[in-house]
Amino acid sequence: MLKFSPKVFLFDMDGVIFDSMPYHARSWHLAFKSEGIEFSEYAVYLQEGATGSKTVNDVFMAQKGRLATQEEINRIYANKCRNFEQCGEPKPMPVMDKVLELLLANGKTVGLVTGSGQKSLFTTLNKYYPGIFVPERMVTAFDVKKGKPDPEPYLMGLQKCGVSASEAVVVENAPMGVQAAKAAGIFTIAVNTGILDSLCLRDAGADVVFDSVTALLDFLTKSI
Ligand code: MG
């Protein structure tokens, strides 16, 4: 068996590091509902990884045939963020601490690449994963112009970790995140931690799809 020996693992955050997608799904659904726009929780999962403004614009284009105004984007995104804060603190993704432990014990470097601009999550990150994700190896909504599915966030992640695409692996849970990572030329592991059909992740271009974090841990334990 070939040794699986990337130097760097770039992790997506929502739905990978944190079990936060149910909160995001509900928060977006309610924020659009208060504008009289139907946006299902399943649709939120499909949209995951995009920046807040892209999500608002995509929904407007699909349902109103026009882009949202800056005022509409600001209002809906602020409303979504308020709803999210009210959901309480997201819990860490079960078993992910074991995955990170295993990687670090094997001398791997870990980075974080997220489309999130939720400030509270960064505090929570340090609470549950102290010292693992450092700002020098983190890319957030504040760092990028385009966001996933554009390769920009993952290209920046590679740059921050000082490696080329062939030396890294991405761990993602969302179709747009997988597209972004593949567009950056990186081997991409998808872990289906949510409500989507796993086929969405395969179709997005994932090299491997696992149905649980436990399955990912088993694979890594045998192969790194
Ligand atoms: Mg995600």
**Using 50, 70 and 90 to split pLDDT, how confident is the model at 8?**
very high
User: In 3-state terms, what secondary structure has residue 167?
Assistant: helix
Q: Cα dihedral sign for 148, 152, 155, 157?
A: negative
The strands making up 138-139's β-sheet, listed across from edge to edge, are 138-139, 109-113, 8-11, 168-172, 187-191, 208-210
- Across 18-22, 48-52, 116-120, 144-148, which has the greatest mean pLDDT? 18-22
Higher pLDDT, 23 or 5: 23
Cα of 173 from ligand 1 centre, angstroms: 5
pTM for the whole thing?
0.90
Among 31-40, 48-57, 130-139, the minimum mean pLDDT is found in 48-57
Cα of 49 from ligand 1 centre, angstroms: 6
Residue 15 has pLDDT above 50, yes or no: yes
The amino acid sitting at 19 is: D
Cα of 74 from ligand 1 centre, angstroms: 22
Q: Is 75 exposed, middle or buried (0-12, 13-18, 19+ CB in 10 A)?
A: middle
Average pLDDT over residues 34-50: 94
- What is the pLDDT at residue 3? 62
Average pLDDT over residues 156-185: 97
Cα of 174 from ligand 1 centre, angstroms: 5
Each residue's pLDDT tens digit, 45-96: 999 988 888 899 999 999 999 999 999 999 999 999 999 989 988 899 999 9
Cα of 162 from ligand 1 centre, angstroms: 23
Please give the angle made by the CA atoms of 153, 159 and 165, to the nearest 5 degrees: 80
Cα of 177 from ligand 1 centre, angstroms: 7
Cα of 186 from ligand 1 centre, angstroms: 16
Cα of 181 from ligand 1 centre, angstroms: 12
Cα of 11 from ligand 1 centre, angstroms: 9
- What is the pLDDT at residue 2? 52
* Residue whose pair of structure tokens reads 């608002």 in the numeric block: 56
Kindly report the length of the chain: 224
**Using 50, 70 and 90 to split pLDDT, how confident is the model at 1?**
very low
Maximum CA extent, the chain: 55
Give the chain's mean pLDDT: 94
